[in-house]
Amino acid sequence: MGLTGLEIYKLLPKKNCKECGQPTCLAFAMQLAAGKASIEACPYVSEEAKAALGAASAPPIALVKIGVGDRALAIGDETVLFRHDKRFEHPPGLAILIPDDEGEERLRERLEAFQRLCFDRVGQIHCADMVALECRSGDPATFAAAVKAVLAATDWPLVLISENPEVQRAALEVAKERRPLIYAATRDNWEKFAALAKEFDVPLAVRGENLASLVELVNQVTGAGVSALVLDSGARRPNQVLADQTQIRRQALKRFRPFGFPTITFATDPDPATRVMEAALYIAKYAGIVVFASDDPAEVLPLVTLRLNIYTDPQKPIAVEPKVYEIGAVTPHSPVFVTTNFSLTYFCVASDVEASRVPSYILTVDTDGTSVLTAWAAGKFTPEKIAQALRESGIAEKVVHRKVIIPGGVAVLSGKLQELSGWEVLVGPRESSGIPAFLKQYWQSN
Amino acid sequence: LLQTKEPLWWEEKLSLSPPTLEDPTDDWGRLSWALQQKGISLVWPVRHLLPELPRTLRAADWQVKVELAFLDKGLCELQGVKPAGREEGAWGVAVDLGTTTVAAELVDLATGQVVATAGTYNRQAAFGDDVISRIVYATETPRGREELQQAILETVNGLIDELCREAGVGSDEVRAVVGAGNTTMIHLLLNLDPTYIRLEPYVPAANAPPPVKAAKLGLKAHPEAWVYLVPGVASYVGGDVVAGVKVTGMGEEEELTLFLDIGTNGEMVLGNREWLMACACSAGPAFEGSGITCGMRAVAGAIEEVEVSPGGGEVFYRTVDGKKPLGICGSGLISLLSSLLRAGVIDRSGRFVEGLNTPRLREGVEGKEFVLVWGESTGHGRDIYITQGDLQNLLRAKAAIFAGLRTLLSLVGLEAAALERVYIAGGFGRFIDVEDAIGIGMLPDLPRERYAYVGNTSLKGARLCLLSRRAWQETAELARRITYVELSVGNLFMEEFMAALFLPHTNADLFPSVKGA
């Protein structure tokens, strides 16, 4: 692992000049330790310190870029085995496998299908983002023609799959401007592949027969001067892939240099369900690229979603989704509680509402996962926001009455909320433990 | 307490050589040259001194005393020139501008002696109990800022009157005032817009506002007296905390120290002479007796210590001054929480145990509650009790403090055991029982001798600055050195907080000395 904030701090000039954008040197050191700042931001750091920091903070796994421009894929630069320890940095490329030997018509159809593999996930578009073109024809000209067709149809990065250097050369002549990944250097062809990678300045995938032979091969290829590598241990059965992926990541984090590169995996089982599960496993376990042998949207959507979830930064407040929750067998006459989306707050309210045995709605307002009073203090639980939630959450269609119960701690919001929302605002107890008694007294008598 | 004799306001004796034909330097030039020889550079003089300066110097036969107010390193303001030899006193006032209470001391600037002490409630309470309510009032009410400023000025002026009366001193003999308070209090005193203190990303108008003239501010002191405010660090770590850090000396020592203000804001500072970091864990006012059904401040009649018999049949207690009980104060609440757990009345999650056979446990309006003292024995004839909601409130308050401390420690990769010293500050600290506080998991399970109470260090720090120009400069420097950690960024604090919502903690290994943990 890298240096702690305190260790980095000891190497800094301690001027507290704020020129790095941080209020103090210690704050800057903590940002460096969290990988959220670069040492270059400090104009006064000594060369010795820079060297010491550089060596210690050099990424254990190299960052490898495939493709060019906005669509370029950056993989690697990972620092942890588990996302909750910090975060996973670069989502793996999802490469759709396309063969070159099915004729022009079929290739065009496949590319059209590929371009439809884009999905709206929480307001953002996420796609299958690589084409893995496989040379099954064995013919350089056919492959090069297919590469040309892919380049014309899409600007996503490419993986060129062929162990024949002649085929790769023909393809690279066409695709060199787009910095494709060439797959793969093996024990038999590595010298020619290393030469190709250097000549065309493209990243190179290396495939061993097992971890030991992979180490040997990586050393040979790096010895020949190629530094942008993607690793394949050669395993294809999921249990072995899992074991190898884990070893590669684990050893890389211990600074075992030959494994300090992102990996490529293949999910090509003929059975769709198995194929998707394989790919899901690789997404969760350290793959830099997952080559997937299907362009069925029903298969790709869950993978895109899983990738998004796994690579979400976990350093976020502990929150529940802001929406309407139903506790018990609710009816249009059930009471409506409003609270914040801090999970602890929500679960307290939910369990006390449950204890009251009165089926109820709980509307959680998005306060970035802060509690009622914290959100009130920070201006995140305002009459405006609650009124908006009442309007937009759909709660108005679920109940026939227009009464909303707010936490007693924010009683001061009631007047303005009533005015803004048109709902009658009942001020509930300060503590959710008072909800059962409150409901007995104020709700059932109504 | 270190007391150098270099107060922020002082008189300097000068022996000037009379002008001659060979040395026809102007009077003002002659005076400032003499001061420069002593390493004192002046800002442009107070205009009213110049008209009479020629006569003053000659009447004193060039042997004068000058009144100097310190502004910045090597930069002073000349406030008066008079003949040497006349003996007059000069006083300064140190103020702790607390959210709830304000305390002040009158200090003899020549000797460093405290000649009078006074304290009272902050009159801003009429506009809200906590800083947030007051910010909201200041922001959302027309003239709200002026009203709040007026309230604190009246409070401080009342104290200055009281101090001066007690010491037989005229308020215009107060020549310097140093105030220490949290960032919001300083904003409200100076009528700075406090709106953005509470809004993300929580930025104050100024952490280190420059000194302001008493007359301009409306403070009862010599009109030329400067009012100095101890610089703060961030929105929720203010000059009161910086003053405390200065007083304890932790910023100059090698030992890893934690400075803890157990109050509503729950500020804490961790570090040593190499580095310092601070956070505010927002413990809430529970330990100040607020937000608890029968809570009160630690004044006469407050239950300050509790012992509950196993099963909850009987309750023994001690009140402040032995008066009939009126409510429970912070130390009583900590003692109670610890005792209820030992007695088996509550479980480790702070909930009342089911099926207890005692009339003291009853069903109240807001769920279960436990009666400590029946109405017939209390000072006001009403039952004193603790509710399930109160218990959850206390649990959250203690969890916030422990979580804040764990978060600071984990950011620098240290364990609590590495703490060589823990200073507990705040009006509340005096009453706290460390053993009970550890028992409920509010403070780390360290050898007890590492704990020390330091009392109202905000006031002590203000006095220290008043009496030492060097201390003032060092305190300003200290404020710049402290790194503020925003606990709402990332989920480290939240995870620690959740883990601490248990008695004493979900990880009992952190409290090996707590019986049965």
pLDDT in tens, B177-193: 999 999 999 999 999 99
H-helix or E-strand spanning residue B241: helix B239-248
Phi and psi for B75 in degrees, rounded to 5? Answer: -130, 120
Which of A30, A378, A434 comes nearest B198 by C-beta?
Answer: A378
- Give dist(CA A151, CA A181) in Å, integer: 14
Tell which residue, A254, A256, A257, A199, has the closest CA to residue A226.
A199
- Give dist(CA A304, CA B463) in Å, integer: 63
**Confidence band for A48, pLDDT divided at 50, 70 and 90:** confident
Q: Which letter, b or e, does each residue of A241-269 get, where b requires 16 or more Cβ atoms within 10 Å of its Cβ?
A: bbebbebbbebbbeeeebbbbbbbbbbeb
Annotated binding site of A: 17, 20, 25, 42, 339, 345, 369-372, 432
**Confidence band for A444, pLDDT divided at 50, 70 and 90:** low
Distance from CA of B480 to the nearest CA of A (A): 7
pLDDT in tens, A322-368: 999 999 999 999 999 999 999 889 999 999 999 999 999 999 999 99
Residue with tokens 């053993």: B435
- Give dist(CA A265, CA A249) in Å, integer: 14
pLDDT in tens, B431-476: 788 999 999 999 999 999 999 999 899 999 999 999 999 999 999 9
Give residue A90's pLDDT.
96
Residue with tokens 């509930």: A428
Which of A5, A23, A437 comes nearest B367 by C-beta?
Answer: A437
Q: What is the residue type of B512?
A: P
Which of B132, B413, B483 comes nearest A26 by C-beta?
Answer: B483
Asked whether A224 and A194 are in contact (CB, 8 A), the reply is: yes
Write down the pTM of the prediction. 0.84
Residue B354 burial class via C-beta count within 10 angstroms: exposed 0-12, middle 13-18, buried 19 and up: exposed
Which of B282, B389, B495 comes nearest A374 by C-beta?
Answer: B282
What mean pLDDT value characterizes chain A? Answer: 93
CATH 1.10.15.40 location in chain A:
5-57
What is the average per-residue pLDDT within A424-430? 94
What is the average per-residue pLDDT within B326-352? 94
- Give dist(CA B127, CA A181) in Å, integer: 67
Long-range interactions of A215-220: CB distance < 8 A, separation 24+:
A215/A258, A215/A259, A217/A185, A217/A186, A217/A187, A217/A190, A218/A258, A218/A259, A218/A261, A219/A258, A220/A190, A220/A194
Asked whether A332 and A358 are in contact (CB, 8 A), the reply is: no
What string of DSSP letters covers B114-177? EEEEEEEE-GGGGG-SSHHHHHHHHHHSTTHHHHHHHHHHHHHHHHHHHHHHHHT--GGGEEEE
What is the average per-residue pLDDT within B399-424? 94
Which of A26, A377, A437 comes nearest B132 by C-beta?
Answer: A377
Give residue B1's pLDDT.
44
Hey, what's the torsion of the CAs at B229, B234, B236, B242, to 10 degrees? -50
Q: What is the residue type of A118?
A: C
Under DSSP, is residue B329 helix (H, G, I), strand (E, B) or coil? coil
Which residues of A fall within a CB distance of 8 Å from B414? 6
CA atoms within 13 A on the CB side of A33: 22
Strands B63-72 and B421-425: unpaired
Q: Report the 3 state secondary structure along B339-360.
A: HHHHCCCECCCCCECCCCCCCC
Residue B478 burial class via C-beta count within 10 angstroms: exposed 0-12, middle 13-18, buried 19 and up: buried
CATH 3.20.20.20 location in chain A:
63-311
**A373 touching chain B per CB within 8 A:** yes
Strands A73-76 and B114-121: unpaired
**Confidence band for B426, pLDDT divided at 50, 70 and 90:** confident
- For A63-311, which CATH class? alpha beta
Asked whether A145 and A327 are in contact (CB, 8 A), the reply is: no
**B277 touching chain A per CB within 8 A:** yes
Give residue B516's pLDDT.
62
Give residue A4's pLDDT.
80
Yes or no, beta carbons of A376 and B132 under 8 Å apart: yes
pLDDT beyond 60 at B259 = yes
Interface size between A and B, measured as CB pairs under 8 A: 89
Distance from CA of A13 to the nearest CA of B (A): 12
Q: Max alpha carbon distance in chain A (Å)?
A: 85
**A5 touching chain B per CB within 8 A:** yes
Give residue B428's pLDDT.
66
Residue B321 burial class via C-beta count within 10 angstroms: exposed 0-12, middle 13-18, buried 19 and up: exposed
pLDDT in tens, A202-232: 999 999 999 999 999 999 999 999 999 999 9
Which of A23, A317, A433 comes nearest B366 by C-beta?
Answer: A433
The Cβ of residue B140 has, within 10 Å, a number of other Cβ atoms equal to 10
Give residue B285's pLDDT.
81
Which residues of B fall within a CB distance of 8 Å from A30? 411, 483, 485
What string of DSSP letters covers A86-155? S---SPPEEEEEEES-S-HHHHHHHHHHHHT-EEEETTEEEE--EEEEE--S--HHHHHHHHHHHHHH--
Tell which residue, B225, B141, B230, B161, has the closest CA to residue B189.
B230
**Confidence band for A34, pLDDT divided at 50, 70 and 90:** confident
**Confidence band for B253, pLDDT divided at 50, 70 and 90:** very high
pLDDT beyond 80 at B219 = yes
Token pair recorded at residue B34: 């003499």
What is the average per-residue pLDDT within A147-160? 96
**Confidence band for B2, pLDDT divided at 50, 70 and 90:** very low
pLDDT in tens, B267-306: 999 999 999 999 999 888 888 778 899 999 888 999 999 9
Strands B267-271 and B257-261: antiparallel
Phi and psi for A350 in degrees, rounded to 5? Answer: -60, -45
Annotated binding site of A for [4Fe-4S] cluster: 17, 20, 25, 42
Tell which residue, A407, A412, A366, has the closest CA to residue A385.
A366
Which residues of A fall within a CB distance of 8 Å from B412? 4-6
What string of DSSP letters covers A352-412? HHHHHT--EEEEEE-SSS--HHHHHHTT-S-HHHHHHHHHHSSHHHH-SS-EEEE-GGGGG
What's the complex ipTM?
0.79
What is the average per-residue pLDDT within A402-430? 95
- Give dist(CA A430, CA B2) in Å, integer: 47
Tell which residue, A198, A204, A169, has the closest CA to residue A184.
A204
- Give dist(CA A404, CA A406) in Å, integer: 6
**B127 touching chain A per CB within 8 A:** no
Distance from CA of B341 to the nearest CA of A (A): 19
Under DSSP, is residue A83 helix (H, G, I), strand (E, B) or coil? helix
Distance from CA of B484 to the nearest CA of A (A): 8
pLDDT over 70 percentage in chain A = 98
Give residue B431's pLDDT.
73
Yes or no, beta carbons of A316 and B200 under 8 Å apart: no
Yes or no, beta carbons of A436 and B393 under 8 Å apart: no
Under DSSP, is residue A54 helix (H, G, I), strand (E, B) or coil? helix
CATH 3.40.50.11600 location in chain A:
324-442
Order of all β-strands in the sheet with B91-97: B114-121, B101-108, B91-97, B174-181, B226-229, B212-213
Domain A324-442 has CATH 3.40.50.11600: yes
Token pair recorded at residue B314: 């009987």
CA-CA distances (angstroms) from residue A267 to A81, A94, A312, B318? 22, 10, 23, 72
Yes or no, beta carbons of B275 and A26 under 8 Å apart: yes
- Chain B interface, best mutation among A17, A18, A26, by max B CB count within 10 A: A26
- Describe the crossing of helices B239-248 and B183-190 by its angle, rounded to 10 degrees: 120
Architecture (CATH level 2) of domain A5-57: Orthogonal Bundle (1.10)
